[in-house]
Amino acid sequence: MSEPINLQATFIPNEGEFFRVKLALEIAIEQVVAEPGCLRYEITEESEDKIVLTEQWATQADLDRHAKGIAVQDLDESLSALLATPVELATV
């Protein structure tokens, strides 16, 4: 059996957009935690200039399905004008 995939996504809001970014993430979290293979999907660090979302997926196939899913598409659209930099995704 393979090890779960652990990721951290870092979001840098534009000045004054912290609460809108956090709200968009909270909406996405509600949808994503119900996806197959999602073991963890939560905000683990937040400040006015950075929000970190920690993810854990059972398999690479589950992560790939998530990455192509409607929740991610909706989140990307919601955040398109709210972020100062592209989302930084790192394996942890």
pLDDT tens-digit series, residues 25-76: 999 999 999 999 999 999 999 999 999 999 999 999 999 999 999 999 999 9
16: pLDDT strictly greater than 90: yes
Task: With cut-offs at 50, 70 and 90, classify the pLDDT of residue 2.
Answer: confident
Is residue 5 in a domain?
no
Is residue 2 in a domain?
no
Reading the block at residue 50, the tokens are 């950075």
Whole-prediction pTM: 0.94
CATH number, domain containing residue 69: 3.30.70.100
Is residue 1 in a domain?
no
* pLDDT score at 39: 98
Is residue 27 in a domain?
yes
Task: With cut-offs at 50, 70 and 90, classify the pLDDT of residue 1.
Answer: low
